[in-house]
Amino acid sequence: MRTAILIAGLTAIFMGVGYLVGGTGGMMIAFVIAAGMNFFSYWNADKMVLSMYGAREVDARTAPEYYGIVQRLAARAGLPMPKVYIIDTPQPNAFATGRNPQNAAVAASIGLLQTLTPDEVAGVMAHELAHVKNHDTLTMTITATIAGAISMLANFAFFFGGRRDNNSPLGPIGAIAAALLAPIAAMLVQMAISRTREYAADRMGAEISGSPRSLATALSKIAGGASHIQNDAAEANPATAHLFIINPLSGQRMDNLFSTHPATENRIAALMELEGQMGGSSGGMAARRVDLPGGFGARQRRADDAPRGPWGNQAGGTSRGPWG
């Protein structure tokens, strides 16, 4: 029901822009395009988003420790094993996508794997699996696709809708209004969904990983990295910003109307309250990390280790990511 309402609302915005640009004919064309896009998005939006970010799939052979974390968490969450991807960006961040748990994918950036501890990586990936378990990924992925289309149509309206010979019922003024207001309306829909679902995914993710504190410290590190490390792919595709665990476009910390995510401080406070309710984080991944592929739990405890991702240092002291 939530997905149907979302699609209907974004489709209405899309048609409204078409009407302001080209009258009834423009609205009908926009309706046909939106209908086709909704059908296509249901089946292919996840692939499109992964392609936008140049995500590369990894497995137990190419990234044993990262893959092992996701595998263990998926089992604890009672989920099918999702596909696992790595995004080639230094900004620490992660997202999940897919139309259902049977066709889900999780993606973490190189920056995230290099910056976070194993327990923190587990907390983040548990958060993303919570989105999968709650079926948020379909809603959020389709939102990204249609919102992006609305932005493109608004750009068209801005550059071509202002001509005096267009069919807009309000003339150039209507076209300009559509160009300015439609992206804002689409953005508000994205924000309303993302901000609500992030709190729910934080709570369920903490329960899956067993360590609210690890997720809280991960959020703090990711927010700090996102505030000064640019994600070029996200800047080029801002309609996908709400997919990430932390807004990749800026380091916003204000829980206001125009924030795509809740304030990080508020999320951390909620997680620390949950930790108190759970009686600490002794049940988290930390107690089991020596069992993860590659034994990186032991390497994490070595004082002479240089900064590394969850795969640790390789032979010869050279740190290599799971991409080779």
Residue 135 marked ligand-binding: no
Report pLDDT digits (tens) over 105-135.
999 999 999 999 999 999 999 999 999 999 8
pLDDT, greater one: 170 or 312: 170
pLDDT, position 73: 97
Give the dihedral sign, CA 143/146/148/154: negative
Tell me which H or E stretch contains 86. Answer: strand 83-87
Q: Tell me: pLDDT of 72 over 70.
A: yes
Inter-helix orientation angle 212-226/171-209, to 10°:
140
Compute the CA torsion angle 219, 220, 224, 226 (nearest 10 deg). 10
60 contacts 68 by C-beta, under 8 angstroms? yes
219 contacts 149 by C-beta, under 8 angstroms? no
Q: 154 is written with which tokens?
A: 């608004």
Q: 314 is written with which tokens?
A: 């390789």
**Is 65 designated active site?**
no
Phi, psi of 111 (to 5 degrees): -60, -40
Give the dihedral sign, CA 141/145/146/150: positive
Confidence of residue 321 (pLDDT cuts 50, 70, 90): very low
Q: What is the DSSP letter of 256?
A: S
Q: In 10 A of CB 222, how many CB atoms?
A: 28
Q: Tell me: pLDDT of 230 over 60.
A: yes
* Residue ranges covered by each domain of the chain: 2-300
Q: For residue 244, give the nearest of 79, 134, 131, 133 by alpha carbon.
A: 131
pLDDT, position 8: 76
Active-site hit among 65, 120, 128, 275? 128
**pLDDT, mean over the chain:** 77
Q: In 10 A of CB 100, how many CB atoms?
A: 11
pTM: 0.72
Residue 198 marked ligand-binding: yes
Residue 131 marked ligand-binding: yes
270 contacts 200 by C-beta, under 8 angstroms? no
Total residue count of the chain as it appears in this document: 324
Q: For residue 310, give the nearest of 218, 244, 231 by alpha carbon.
A: 218
Q: In 10 A of CB 191, how many CB atoms?
A: 19
Report pLDDT digits (tens) over 85-110.
999 999 999 999 988 999 999 999 99
The stretch 172-183 carries a mean pLDDT of: 69
Report pLDDT digits (tens) over 232-286.
999 888 878 888 999 998 644 444 445 668 889 999 999 999 999 987 544 555 4
Report pLDDT digits (tens) over 25-64.
777 777 777 777 767 777 887 898 899 999 999 999 999 9
Residue type, 13: I
